[in-house]
Amino acid sequence: MHIEFEAQRKFGDIAGSTMSYLDVGSGPVIVLGHSYLWAADMWAPQIRELSRRYRVIVPELWGHGQSGALPAGTLTLSDIARHHLELLDTLGIEKFVLVGLSVGGMWAVELALLRPSRVVGLVLMGTFVGSEPAPSQARYLSMLDTVAFEQAVSDTLISAMLPLFFSNATLGHRPELIEGFRSRLRDADRENLLVSIVPLGRMIFQRRDALADLSQLSMPALVITGQEDRSRPPAEAREMAILLRCPCVEMMGVGHISSLEAPDEVIEHLRAFFAVVC
Contact yes or no for 276/269 (Cβ under 8 A) = no
Residue 5: is its pLDDT beyond 90?
A: no
Considering the domain boundaries, does residue 72 fall inside one? yes
Contact yes or no for 56/32 (Cβ under 8 A) = yes
Considering the domain boundaries, does residue 139 fall inside one? no
Considering the domain boundaries, does residue 260 fall inside one? yes
H or E, element range at 9: strand 9-14
Contact yes or no for 125/98 (Cβ under 8 A) = no
Considering the domain boundaries, does residue 160 fall inside one? no
Segment 204-213, tens digit of pLDDT: 999 999 999 9
Residue 33 sits in a domain whose CATH number is 3.40.50.1820
pLDDT at residue 115 in the model: 98
Segment 162-206, tens digit of pLDDT: 999 999 999 999 999 999 999 999 999 999 999 999 999 999 999
**7: burial class by Cβ within 10 Å (0-12, 13-18, 19+)?**
exposed
Note if the pTM is more than 0.95. yes
Q: What mean pLDDT comes out for the span 41-54? A: 97
H or E, element range at 202: helix 198-205
pLDDT at residue 244 in the model: 98
Q: Could you write out the DSSP letters of every residue in 151-195?
A: TS--HHHHHHHHHHHS-HHHHHH-HHHHHHHHHHHHT--HHHIII
Going by pLDDT thresholds of 50, 70 and 90, the confidence category of residue 1 is very low
Considering the domain boundaries, does residue 33 fall inside one? yes
What whole-number distance in Å separates Cα of residue 107 and Cα of residue 243? 17
Considering the domain boundaries, does residue 156 fall inside one? no
Going by pLDDT thresholds of 50, 70 and 90, the confidence category of residue 3 is low
Residue 15: is its pLDDT beyond 50?
A: yes
Q: What mean pLDDT comes out for the span 212-239? A: 98
What whole-number distance in Å separates Cα of residue 145 and Cα of residue 99? 30
Considering the domain boundaries, does residue 62 fall inside one? yes
Q: State which residues form the domain around 214.
A: 3-130+209-277
Give Cβ neighbours of residue 216 (< 8 Å, ≥ 6 apart): 113, 116
pLDDT at residue 2 in the model: 52
Number of domains in the chain: 1
Considering the domain boundaries, does residue 164 fall inside one? no
